Amino acid sequence: QSPAPGFALDASKPIEITADSLEVLQQESRAIFSGKVDVVQGDIRLRTERLRVAYSGDPQSGGGQITELRAEGGVVVTSGREKATGATAHYDVAARTIRMTGDVVLSQDDTVIRGQELVIDLATGRSKLTGGSGGGRVRSVFTVPERGAKEQ
Amino acid sequence: MASAPARRPRLDGLAGAGGSARDARRYSRFVGVMRVALPLVALLLLAALTLWPVIGERIRALESARVMGEMNVPGDLMKMTRPSYSGADASGRRYALVADAAYPNGLDPTEVRLERLTATVTDPSGRTVTVDAVRGLYYPKLETLDLDGGVVVTSNDGTRVETGAATLDLAQGTIVAPGALAAEGPYGTLDAARARVSDEGRRLKFDGGVRLVINPVRGADAPTPASGPESRP
């Protein structure tokens, strides 16, 4: 029974995003945060070097939605004692999923799992780590707590 | 962008003796920039697109305004009280600019000092954007407007933007706020150390640290509690 992060997005909490700079490109309906980007919503935090945001709709007509966030340049997602790091992350707002790729490391306390792709379902909090293409095996490292829990 | 106004706008002495079509175009560009810029800030708030500097307070502590030097208009020979300028452009956008007083430095002024000015733009959909500034310095030849002493931009969708000073380049269609900027709207708040709107409002750049707080979507459905880890290598 290998632990995995229980990321659960609480959409009722405000989102706070800070970074060094932000550029909004209206015609392309997108924006780019750059430099020490830090996104916090409730218990979930995402830090990266560059965050691209795509949005749809037009605020003048009262519509407008963020459709996706794409983090590049190294990503760290944390939630309570769980942490996931990777090269990139893609947050699909409608599907409420985060997909991390590139040397993904999943850790919870001192249990570490490595793989190539991690998909986190923010609505249910479940996540799936796969070895990625080429059938690379997922390498898991477990520490056996004192009470001698069953080792995988 | 230069949509010639449908009706000749009434010019009440703000930019020199007789109002010219060129002034009308300038103001319609001013309107163009403002009309586009503010929805972008609203969109910005909506789209959760900001960063903040180290902490919000540091922003408020920042000396926001680049204080304009003591303006001396030689002789103050000309003073217009309650000058106002209003007009509409081809797309039915109405605009008005009113100041408590204006001091052009001559009949064909290169500089018009404005005190307590309010510019209002209403587009056909009824959306209104208002810019209030304590002081303004309008350079007709350069087609730039320096606002200073505190600038507040509000719109009837509840968005409010405050900064110390702003420079509008009507010819280039840019707005630069060199100092700290704080915006608030139905969607949340936005703080930035500097802001620049260009390309007639289609491009916004905030830097020196940006912070955005987006209010949760009303009636957001809280997710089902995580039912337990599951990992299939």
Structure confidence at residue A73 (pLDDT): 96
A78 C-beta neighbours (distance < 10 Å), count: 18
ipTM: 0.73
Q: What confidence tens digit (pLDDT) does each residue in A47-77 have?
A: 999 999 887 765 444 456 677 889 999 999 8
With beta carbons less than 8 A apart as the criterion, state whether A64 and B188 touch: no
CA distances from residue B193 to B46, B112, B128, B180 in whole angstroms, order as listed: 19, 29, 26, 4
Q: What confidence tens digit (pLDDT) does each residue in A91-129 have?
A: 887 888 878 899 998 888 888 888 998 887 777 777 788
Q: Which two tokens stand for residue B42?
A: 């609203």
Structure confidence at residue B32 (pLDDT): 47
Answer whether residue B210 is part of any domain.
yes
pLDDT band at B211 (very low <50, low <70, confident <90, very high): very high
Answer whether residue B164 is part of any domain.
yes
pLDDT band at A140 (very low <50, low <70, confident <90, very high): low
Q: What confidence tens digit (pLDDT) does each residue in B111-154 have?
A: 888 889 887 777 777 777 788 899 988 887 887 888 899 998 88
pLDDT of B228 above 70? no
Mutate which of B49, B155, B227 to test chain A, going by most A C-beta atoms within 10 A?
B49
Structure confidence at residue B104 (pLDDT): 82
Across the interface, whether the CB atoms of A18 and B204 are under 8 A apart is answered no
Answer whether residue B232 is part of any domain.
no
With beta carbons less than 8 A apart as the criterion, state whether B182 and B190 touch: yes
CB-nearest to A19 from B210, B225, B229 is: B210
Structure confidence at residue B208 (pLDDT): 96
CA distances from residue B174 to A104, B29, B78, B143 in whole angstroms, order as listed: 43, 10, 29, 11
Q: Using a cut of 0.90, tell me whether the model's pTM lies above it.
A: no
CA distance B174 to B155: 19
Structure confidence at residue A137 (pLDDT): 59
A10 C-beta neighbours (distance < 10 Å), count: 14
Answer whether residue B226 is part of any domain.
no
Give the SS3 label for residue B74: helix
Answer whether residue B138 is part of any domain.
yes
More confident residue, B70 or B36: B36
Answer whether residue B223 is part of any domain.
no
Number of domains comprising chain B = 1
Domain boundaries, position B164: 11-218
**What pairing do the DSSP bridges indicate for beta strands A88-92 and A82-86?**
unpaired
Q: What confidence tens digit (pLDDT) does each residue in B26-58 have?
A: 444 544 444 444 444 333 433 322 222 222 222
Q: What are A89's strand-pairing partners?
A: A71, A100
CA distance B1 to A38: 38
Structure confidence at residue A35 (pLDDT): 97
CATH of the domain at B126: 2.60.450.10
Across chain B, mean pLDDT equals: 64
User: What mean pLDDT do residues B56-71 have?
Assistant: 27
- Burial-class residue A37 by CB neighbours within 10 Å (0-12, 13-18, 19+): buried
| Closest of B157, B216, B218 to residue B185, by C-alpha | B157
pLDDT of B184 above 90? no
A contacts of B215 (beta carbons < 8 Å): 14
Answer whether residue B214 is part of any domain.
yes
Mutate which of B91, B123, B203, B231 to test chain A, going by most A C-beta atoms within 10 A?
B231
